């Protein structure tokens, strides 16, 4: 018995459809390296947004003065 196809399965199938060899997935410019790079970049952007308190390209909030 096979399980129903999930959204994750469909996304993986779409990502892998053009991969013809292990090099396409695991190579220097392969899918895994590209996905890892993009995921790390997004995590760092989210961390910076949380730290600064505003989204990239939004104007910085006015500086607060102690008081």
- Write down the pLDDT at residue 4: 84
Query: Domain range for residue 31?
Result: 24-54
Question: Is 28 domain-assigned?
Answer: yes
The predicted-structure confidence for 9-57, as pLDDT tens digits, reads as follows 999 999 999 999 999 999 999 999 999 999 999 999 999 999 988 888 8
Three-state SS annotation for 14-53: HHHCCCCCHHHHHCCCCHHHHHHHHHHHHHHHHHHHHHHC
Question: Is 10 domain-assigned?
Answer: no
Question: Is 4 domain-assigned?
Answer: no
Question: Is 49 domain-assigned?
Answer: yes
Question: Is 41 domain-assigned?
Answer: yes
Q: What is the pTM of this model?
A: 0.70
Question: Is 43 domain-assigned?
Answer: yes
The predicted-structure confidence for 5-14, as pLDDT tens digits, reads as follows 899 999 999 9
Q: Count of domains in the chain?
A: 1
Q: Which of 17, 21, 43, 39 is nearest to 30 (CA)?
A: 21
Question: Is 61 domain-assigned?
Answer: no
């Amino acid at each position: 018995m096979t399980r129903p196809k999930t959204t994750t399965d469909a996304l993986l199938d779409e990502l892998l459809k053009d991969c013809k060899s292990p090099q396409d997935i695991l190579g220097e410019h392969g899918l895994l390296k590209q996905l890892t790079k993009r995921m790390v970049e997004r995590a760092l952007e989210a961390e910076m947004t949380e730290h600064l308190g505003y989204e990239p390209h939004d104007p910085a909030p006015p500086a607060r003065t102690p008081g």
